[in-house]
Structure formats: C-alpha cells, structure tokens
Amino acid sequence: MRYNIIDQIFHLKSVCISKEENIRKELGLSPAEFRGIMAMVQGSDIPCSLLSRKMGLSVSRGSRVTDKLLKGGYLKLTRNESDKRVISAALTDKGFSVQLKIHQMFENCERMIMNKMSEDEIKALKRSLIKISDCIIDK
C-alpha cells in the first residue's frame, strides 16, 4: 500500500497515462495526434501555429503532425484571405467524431470512479485535487 502522497500522485499518473495509451492505440493515434485532436474546438478554426503551441510542439514539428492529421482526414486547412502566410486548421466530421469518442471514453473512466464514491467523497476529492495542484503549481 502506498502512503506517501507523491508516490500516490505518480502511481495515479502512470495509471492515467496507461488509460490514455489504450485510448490512443484503439484509435490509432500518436500522442501528438491525440493532443492535436483534443486541442481543437468543433466549428472553429485556429492558426496552425497556435495548434502547435496547444500540442506543446515547435511550429515545424506541429506542422508534421498537422499534415498527418490532414492525411488521416481529421483536419482541414484553410489559408487566411487577408494574410496568405497564415493557415488555419479545423476539425472535419471525422475528427469531431474521434474527439467525441475520446470524450466518451474519458467520461466512462470518470463514471467508474464516481460510481465507487459517495457525493461527499467526490466533493472532498475535488477540493483535495485543487489544493494539491495549487501546492505543486507555482502561481
């Protein structure tokens, strides 16, 4: 049994990473492609440079990932009419469908947790997670 808080956090992190890997494998996505799809909002275009930042990648690496998402049919690109250098990305119907499937998988995972906890335990957990985040993340 793990009693040390940081051990618990790292154990939970590894379990969550494993769950995410399973979702990615099921959908055939690389980690960067997964982040790219999850960074998008249905019905809105964003500049590819911003998408790269949201994926945590350099513009050049982000461009390669964007190309993969384009070839996979998950994204469509448009050139800005006023500034031809700016290219924006938007989810296709296929990309949105995959994003919804990811959200459903996340919700299923959360539901498994919620079904095993009382309402008071859930509220306490949320407060504790916020407190831990506040302690770890410099603000």
Percentage of the chain modeled with pLDDT above 90: 56
Please check the confidence at residue 72 and state whether its pLDDT lies above 90. yes
Structure-token pair, residue 64? 């390669």
Count of Cβ atoms closer than 10 Å to residue 38 Cβ: 15
3-state secondary structure of 30: coil
Which listed CATH number (1.20.80.10, 1.10.10.10, 3.40.50.300, 3.40.1350.10) goes with 30-136?
Answer: 1.10.10.10
Strand order in the sheet with 87-91: 46-47, 87-91, 75-79
Contacts of residue 117, defined as CB under 8 A and 6 or more positions apart, other chains included, come to: 125
The first and second tokens of residue 104, run together, are 């459903």
Contacts of 55 (CB under 8 A, 6+ apart): 32, 35, 36, 39, 62, 65
Say how many C-beta atoms besides its own lie within 10 A of residue 33's C-beta: 21
Is the confidence at residue 64, as pLDDT, over 90? yes
Query: Which pLDDT value is given to residue 117?
Result: 94
pTM reported for the whole predicted model: 0.80
Supply the pLDDT for residue 2. Answer: 58
Q: Note the pLDDT tens digit of each residue in 85-133.
A: 778 899 999 999 999 999 998 899 899 999 999 999 999 999 999 999 9
Q: Is the pLDDT of residue 1 over 60?
A: no
E-state strands within 1-139 = 46-47, 75-79, 87-91
